[in-house]
Amino acid sequence: MFALLLNFQQSSAQKADIILTNGKIFTSDTSKLFVQALAIKGNKILATGNNAAIEKLATSKTKKIDLKGKTVVPGFNYQHAHEPWGVKGIPLKYDYHDFDNWDGLSKMAVLDSIAKLLSRAKPGEWLAGFIGFKILGDTSMRRSLDSIAPNNPVFLSVFWGHGAVTNQKGLEAVELSDALKDPVGGWYVRNAEGKISTVHEHAQVPFWWTLGQIYPEDVIKEMKSIGKEQLEGGVTSTLYFSTGFPYSVTNDYFNKASLSQRIRIVYFVRTTPEGRQLSEWPMEVIHPAPMRTVSGIKYVINHFGPLNFSVDTLRKIIAEALATRRQLMMHISLDSAFTTILNLIKESGTAEEWRPLRVRIEHNMIGNPTEDQRKDLRDYGILIMHTPIYNQEGHLRSFLHDNIIVGIAPDGGYVNIFLNLAIITSQQTNPAENITMEQAVIAFTKTNAYAEFKEKEKGMLVKGMLADLAVLSQDIFTIPKQQLPATTSVLTMIDGKIVYQQALK
C-alpha cells in the first residue's frame, strides 16, 4: 500500500499545472537556447522539450496554452529603476525632456511655466519642472524664483537627475538653510548674495525624501502605472534604487502599490554635513514581503566631474562593503573616478575576497578601460551594468569577449525593453560593439539575475527555475531591428501565475 501511495505521489508531482506548446521558447541557457514547449508545476518550471514530451505531463486539469509559434523569453529583469521621486511625484509641474537639447529651456520659458503653475497653486504647494544646463548653471534663478514664488517651494531638476535649482521656500520646506555646510557626497552652489541656488548629487536627497512623502496618492498611482507598463513589456523583476523615500515609507508605498513584479530595493545613502546616515536602512538582507527584498547600497561617486567624496571616505565605503559583504553599487562617470575606485578596491582586498560580492558599476560610463583594467574587472568579478538609452558609446561586445560580466540596466521607471534591445544590438556608436539578440536577452535575464544573487532561482527557463516568463508579440530574434520597439508582451507570467494577458493571435 505504501509503495502504491508513493508511486501515486511521485506521478502527481510530475504532472503539470500549465503547459505551453508550439512555441519558440528562448531559455537563456547556452547549452540549449531554444525549445518548443515547457511545463509548469506550482511556481516553477517542471520540464522543457518538444511538444510530445511536454504534452505527456498534462492531465485533464492542466491549463494548456497553444503559443501558435510565438516567441517566449524568461521574464525581463529591470535592474535599474527609481520610484516616482522629486519632480515626478508633484502634481503641479511642467514637463520637459529633450535629449537633443541638453541646454534645456531658457530662463524666460521656465519662469513663464512657473507663473502658469502659480495661477493654480495654493500657498505652500510645491511647483516643479525639468531643466537643462542653462538653468542649472544660472545662479540668478534663486532671486527670480524667490521673487515670482515667495509663498511656494520650487524644485527644478535636470532631466537626468544630477542637480536641481530651488528657492527660499524650497529650502525651508526640507529644513535646510543658506548657512548650511555642504553634505558629504554633495554640494551647494550659491549666488552672489551667498544664498543656495543649486543642489548637487547627495545634497538632493532631502528634497527627494520630502517630496516623496507629500503626495502619497500621486506617488502610489505613478508606481502602479509603472508596474503596469512593465508587465506589458514582459518585466517580471525590478530593482529600485530608493532615492525617494526613507525605509519605512518605502515599505508602506510598495505595500499600497501592490505590484506584481519581484521587487528589490537598494538604499541610496542620505548624507548630512556630519556624514553618511548608514543606520537609516537595514544593513542585512531582509524580505519585508514574499516578493520583496531589501539589500545593497548605492553611491554616486561622480557624474562627469570630480569625485563627490574624498578619497578617505571612498576608502571607508569600500572597506565597509568588504567587511559587511553588502553589495556595493556605484554611479561612476569617466574622468579619473573609475581608476580611483578600481585602485581602492585592489588596495583593500584580493580578487578572491571581492569576487563573491559582485560589485556593480551602474550605466557603463567608464570610457575605454586599459587591458590591465579589463583584467581587474574580470578577476574581481565587477559587473558592468549597461544603460542603453543613455550610452551608445559603451563597450559591450569587447567586454563580453574579455569575459567581463555585462548586465543591462535601463534607468527611470520604465524605458521600453525592446528599444533597449534595438540599441544594444544595432545602434552602438561603434558597430563592432553591437551584440547579438541572444546575448542581449541573456544579459537582460540570466546575467541580471546573477547581478542580484538570484541566478539559481530565475533568469532561465529550465527545470527548477521560477516560472517567470513573457510571450512576445513579435519574434525579436528575426524581425528587422527597427521594428523591435513595437514589440509587447501578450502574456506575462510571474511565479507560475498569469499577471497580464492579451489574446494570442
Strands across the sheet containing 18-21: 44-49, 37-41, 18-21, 63-66
Residue with cell 515547457: 38
> What are the tens digits of pLDDT across the range 97-114?
776 778 999 999 999 999
CA distance 432 to 367: 16
CA distance 185 to 276: 8
> What are the tens digits of pLDDT across the range 293-348?
999 999 999 998 899 999 999 999 999 999 999 999 999 998 799 999 999 999 99
Confidence (pLDDT) at 86: 66
pLDDT under 50: residue ranges of the chain: 1-11
CA distance 231 to 500: 6
Confidence (pLDDT) at 450: 98
> Which domains does the chain possess?
2-62 (2.30.40.10), 76-82+215-493 (3.20.20.140), 91-210 (3.10.310.70)
> What are the tens digits of pLDDT across the range 493-505?
999 999 999 976 6
Confidence (pLDDT) at 372: 97
Confidence (pLDDT) at 180: 93
The helix (H) or strand (E) run that includes residue 171 is helix 168-173
Phi then psi for residue 329, to 5 deg, are: -125, 130
Report the half-sphere exposure of 158 (CA within 13 A, side-chain side). Answer: 22
Of 84, 34, 64, the closest CA to residue 441 belongs to: 34
